[in-house]
Copies of this chain bind each other. A is one copy, B any other.
Amino acid sequence: MICMDQRTPSPPLYETLAAGVTTLIDNGLLRPGMRARSVRAFAAQHGVSLTTAVQAYRLLEDRGVLEARPKSGFYVTQRSHRQRELPTASQPPQRASTVAVSNPVFSVLSYAGDPSYAPLGCAIPSAGLLAAERLDRHLARCARVHGRHYNIYADPHGDAELRGQISARALRLGHAVPPEGVLITNGCTEALNIALSVTTRPGDTVAIESPTYFGLLQVLEARGLRALELPTDPTSGVDVKALDKALGKRRVAACLLASSFNNPLGSRIDDARKVAIIRVLTRYRVPLIEDDIYGDISFGDDRPRPFAAISPTADIILCSSFSKTIAPGYRIGWLAANRRHDEILAAKFALSLSGAALPQKAMADFLKSGGYDAHLRRIRKVFADNIDRMRRVVDRSFPRDTRMTDPKGGFVLWLELPDGFDSDTLYQRAIRERICFVPGGLFTAGRGYRNCLRLSCSHDWDARVERSVARLGELAHELLA
């Protein structure tokens, strides 16, 4: 509806040609490392002059989409957008804040779940990508065959076979937790609630990354906890010195960090830094709650190890779930701990007694039957490609000084626009055009990140997604004009 009557002038021909090449790359027909046609062949193919073809290739080179190799021609660059700077490392205020984020979050969520809006808001994969048909068949079978046996209040710890499967998978990462140390929860959110309930009391302070997932802020808000936000680098994660300094200044009841690819930065903490963080926490006797929900979506072959694998004797409660990789609709999460088992069980019992029995049994059967790892390999590749494509569209659509993350896992991008940019206004305009994303202000208990936004790449890449990202870029241009 907006701007219906405003005609934009046609772009020059070489720009249109360049966009066509980018589309071939975005659609996967041209892949990173592949050789592009020669300039001459390109000109002949499109029936344009050699000058126009050269202009188009220069533009693509400028944009980092193609790279010239001496005496060899043009190639699709491995990552075609190196020129974009990363967002600055965060510098949140050094005080704990009470949390009150719920109201704006619900507005965003109502659009994020509405399929009539372009899905840049919701951070769960589309059902098509998840391809959980085999899991559903296991559930159907369990309901038919085991219904009567499982129509009980199950063990509050959760299904024993499922806990065994989770324990075995953890061991492959070097995280030795016996099935008895695993407790099944209603998604990762309940796991975080339980972990916080056994480590904190209302009014306590919890140290977290900044920016951080708004759902986590809501959990802190509901539990009456204060958030101490830590400086966090978009690539390497939380600042260890800042953590040390913060813990020296005030009592912190728990530290809550993403194990890997945190939401929204996608930062990855390397093993050495993980060791350093644990050392600091141990010195101050602060338990770590780690949220490993994105750990399995690593773009490389080396799935990062959680803190609990690196420091097996430290005071760590690991929380995770299957929601990001296979079954958001099943609501199966878990936590794994090497102490406080009685309190954890009591907390689970007091929150929801026990979990639904048949979905747990179905998940156990699904994991046992194999194929989950092949599935993970497949979706990792999809998400890596999606992130790549979205970065490219942001690159060519957003204002020149827009910074963006370059995540090595997960499926969200974090954009930082110049100071003074108001992503809430962008959000209002985008919603009117049926495009949903999450404005940056939701990712802090403080007042920062108003110039930032999170884009989700968790849905199948299609023309609508591409168009929507491009349109957001146009709107951002307009807002900055």
Contact = CB atoms under 8 A, between A and B. Distances in A.
Counting every copy of the chain, the complex holds 2
Interface stretch (A50-58, A147-155, A233-241, A279-287): A147-155
A354 B327 contact: no
Interface in A182-236: 186-187, 189-190, 193, 197, 201-202, 215, 218-219, 221-224
A346 interface: yes
A109 B157 CA distance: 12
B358 A193 contact: no
Nearest to A136: B147
B141 A349 contact: no
A144 interface: yes
Contacts of A357: 329-330
Interface centre among A133, A156, A328, A356 (most CB of B within 10 A): A356
Given A113-B153, A137-B144, A187 B352 contact: yes
A114 to B, nearest CB: 10
A349 B215 contact: yes
Contacts of A193: 350-352
Contact of A356 (B106, B113, B356): B356
Given A347-B222, A352-B190, A352-B352, A328 B152 contact: yes
A342 B197 contact: no
Interface string A335-370: 000000010011101111111111100100000000
B222 A155 contact: no
A77 interface: no
Given A202-B202, A222-B351, A357-B329, A106 B346 contact: yes
Contacts of A347: 222
Contacts of A331: 352-356
Nearest to A131: B148
Interface stretch (A4-12, A122-130, A410-418): A122-130
Contacts of A156: 109
A68 interface: no
A129 B148 CA distance: 10
A94 to B, nearest CB: 26
A19 interface: no
A130 B147 CA distance: 11
A222 B156 CA distance: 16
B218 A346 contact: yes
A132 interface: yes
Contact of A323 (B106, B153, B187, B329): B153
A356 B353 contact: no
A255 interface: no
A141 B109 CA distance: 29
Contact of A151 (B103, B132, B189, B351): B132
A241 B105 CA distance: 44
A174 to B, nearest CB: 29
Interface string A83-116: 0000000000000000000110110010001000
Nearest to A326: B151
Contact of A202 (B132, B154, B224): B224
A387 interface: no
A105 B347 CA distance: 13
A143 interface: yes
A109 B190 CA distance: 22
Nearest to A185: B352
A139 interface: yes
A28 B312 CA distance: 60
A329 B346 contact: no
A154 to B, nearest CB: 7
A59 interface: no
Given A136-B148, A151-B330, A329-B358, 8 more contacts: A106-B342, A133-B148, A140-B140, A150-B329, A186-B352, A331-B353, A352-B352, A359-B359
Interface of A: 102-103, 105-106, 109, 113, 122, 124, 127-128, 130, 132-133, 135-137, 139-141, 143-144, 147-156, 186-187, 189-190, 193, 197, 201-202, 215, 218-219, 221-224, 323, 327-331, 342, 345-347, 349-359, 362
16 contacts: A106-B349, A109-B156, A113-B153, A124-B152, A136-B144, A139-B358, A140-B140, A140-B143, A143-B143, A152-B328, A154-B329, A189-B352, A190-B351, A193-B350, A331-B353, A331-B354
**Shortest 3 CB-CB distances between A and B: which pairs?**
A136-B147, A222-B350, A140-B143
